[in-house]
Chain A
Amino acid sequence: MADRAIHFDNVRFGYGDGDFMLRIAKLELGRGERAAVIGPSGSGKTTLLHLAAGIAVPEEGAVRTCGVEISGLDDAARRRFRIRRVGLVFQEFELLDHLSALDNVLLPYRLTRALRLDDAARARAESLLQRTGLGGKGSRRADRLSQGERQRVAVCRALVVEPEVLLADEPTGNLDTDNKGRILDLLLGCADEAGAALLVVTHDRDLLPRFERSFDVRELSG
């Protein structure tokens, strides 16, 4: 089990009003493995990512990420774990508009002393921007970037801490075909380089062949 990047065991999670209940009997993702999650809107794909990242805690069952049972950790410990070891790309990018592209990428370093903002981190952030075609736009404020550029900045922010697990929620949702390819190449390439597991939520079935495996979230309930 320790060599699993993500491990869900009999997980049950519901929202307070009882309208939504996500059940995952078993889900395993090996280290360095790349998988896609599909499913209709409202089926729980984003919730699955939040459970894997420790943003949400299951009512029952256990979630282990990078060999750590995060469902048993307190909130502070889960935050510490998440910011250092998990990279997250949110569905709506969730950039801070008053910061530049570079500052957005370096945001995790500004939020915790557990990550050291040194020359290496800055170089890594600039290199990521370069690789995503934003080399000359590091100083541009986020609210002055196009949708596609904002999405790429969000990907760079997830990758900058060299996470062991990369969780991406529709990372190519708003991109044209060329940029979809570039972003996916970037995610897959960086995950490969770091030996990180990659779990991507997507609606785009055309992307599925790029992943080692894919599964529909509705089929995980056992």
Chain B
Amino acid sequence: MSGVAYLAARYLARHKLVSGVLVAALALVVFLPAGLRVLVRHSAEALRARAIATPLVVGAPGSPVDLVLASLYFESGAPQPVPFSEVQHIDETGLAEAVPLHVRFRTGGKAIVGTTLAYFRQRELRVASGRLPAVLGECVVGASAARDLGVRPGDTLVSSPETVFDLAGVYPLRMRVTGILAPAGGPDDAAVFVDVKTAWIIQGLVHGHSDLAGPGSDAGVLAREEGRITANASVVEYNEITPENLDSFHFHGDPGAYPLTAVLAFPPEARSRALLMGRYEGSEARQILRPGGVIDELLATVFAVEKSVVAAIGLVAVATLAVGALVFVLSARLRRREFATLVKIGAPRGTVAALLGAEIALVTGAALLVAGGLVFVAARFAPLLLRSALAS
């Protein structure tokens, strides 16, 4: 380190508080626009990539953004449900592979996604350990969710009740973890996947309970008429699916009417996609969306807001730099005697300017380092931050 740089460093070290405030202020001035830009760009890339990987989303009419975010990121408010029959309807067209999505419940803060095995194939999700769910009550856990929840194959997870005091509401279901997915670098890492029927069990649409038709079951039966049995509250309803009670689980009503959050449609090529979209044109009961288009519209708004924010930050930056310059000017005035001593000792011309320059350079360098670190962190967590922001 040169002598002047050393003297500058000692001065800044002696005045830690002022130096720290200057570094923090400058770092913020640099970080805010740069971090915002990185945040938005990274988030946009991640959002676009996920959206492009999902050709079409079919759902009930409502907010396209809500539907796309719920389908792609398992976040946001629950859109209006679409019946399971929509999956069969799309499959029958032969224009796309339809994948049901049921996103409503959570376990340990992680979304429980009810779907079919086709989802894992279309998303190219690989099992790192264990296997995919094969029967009701089994689940496979995304990589980061497994880490956060501390589960391995063979462990169990319990779904969270939606409302604690609603006795007629959704009961928790104990699910067996059969596998952990390999990291995929997306929202699938943070989710818990079950068969869509398991999701309906959590919702109470499919259920299992003690046998009411067999011998010795009269204790809980209130009435039997025309094949319909009315029972009292002493009937045991299962909250865990085991090989012993698996057969007791049954549907009530038409499964085709069971709710889904959305249906993902994966057409084999562009023509099929266009044809499928044409089938839904003018439909008031359904909407079909290209997630890429919805995300682009959303990002256009985000970019417009970003421009305004950057302009505002620019003004703040000018003010901050002016205050920073004022601090150095005032500091130089207070240090006139010190600088005069350097001259009397015989410091070469320009030493004082070099000393102040070195101090400014050190403060600026430190601020850039801090800002760089913050930008790095922002880039790392950008997709997560923007998704959370959008979801809220």
Contact = CB atoms under 8 A, between A and B. Distances in A.
Interface string B337-362: 11001111111110100000000000
B14 interface: yes
B341 A111 contact: no
Given A80-B348, A111-B3, A112-B347, A98 B10 contact: yes
Interface string A55-83: 10000000000000000000110111111
B344 A94 contact: yes
Contacts, number: 66
Nearest to A112: B348
Contact of A99 (B4, B7, B347, B351): B7
A108 interface: yes
Contact of B348 (A90, A98, A111, A157): A111
A111 B345 contact: yes
**Helix, strand, loop or mixed for chain A's interface?**
helix
A1 interface: no
A12 interface: no
Interface residues of B, number: 21
Q: Which of A50, A75, A76, A110 has the most CB of B within 10 A?
A: A110
A49 to B, nearest CB: 10
A112 B7 contact: no
Contacts of A53: 344
Given A90-B341, A96-B341, A111-B351, A103 B346 contact: no
A80 B345 CA distance: 10
Interface string B1-40: 0011011001101110000000000000000000000000
Interface range on chain A: under 10, 10 to 19, 20 to 34, or 35 or more?
Answer: 20 to 34
A81 B346 CA distance: 8
A117 B3 contact: yes
A166 interface: no
Given A98-B11, A98-B14, A141-B14, A86 B337 contact: no
Interface of B is mostly: helix
A110 B345 contact: no
A94 B342 CA distance: 9
Contacts of B346: 78-84, 86, 108, 111-112
A208 interface: no
Contacts of A141: 14
Nearest to B351: A111
A79 B10 contact: no
A76 B348 contact: yes
Contacts of A84: 346
Given A79-B343, A79-B348, A111-B4, 16 more contacts: A50-B344, A55-B344, A76-B349, A78-B346, A82-B345, A86-B346, A94-B337, A94-B341, A96-B338, A98-B13, A99-B7, A99-B10, A109-B3, A110-B7, A112-B3, A112-B348
Closest 10 CB pairs of A and B: A83-B346, A110-B3, A98-B14, A82-B346, A111-B347, A94-B341, A79-B346, A98-B11, A55-B344, A76-B349
12 contacts: A76-B348, A80-B346, A83-B345, A90-B341, A94-B344, A98-B11, A98-B14, A107-B345, A110-B3, A111-B345, A112-B347, A117-B3
Interface of B: 3-4, 6-7, 10-11, 13-15, 337-338, 341-349, 351
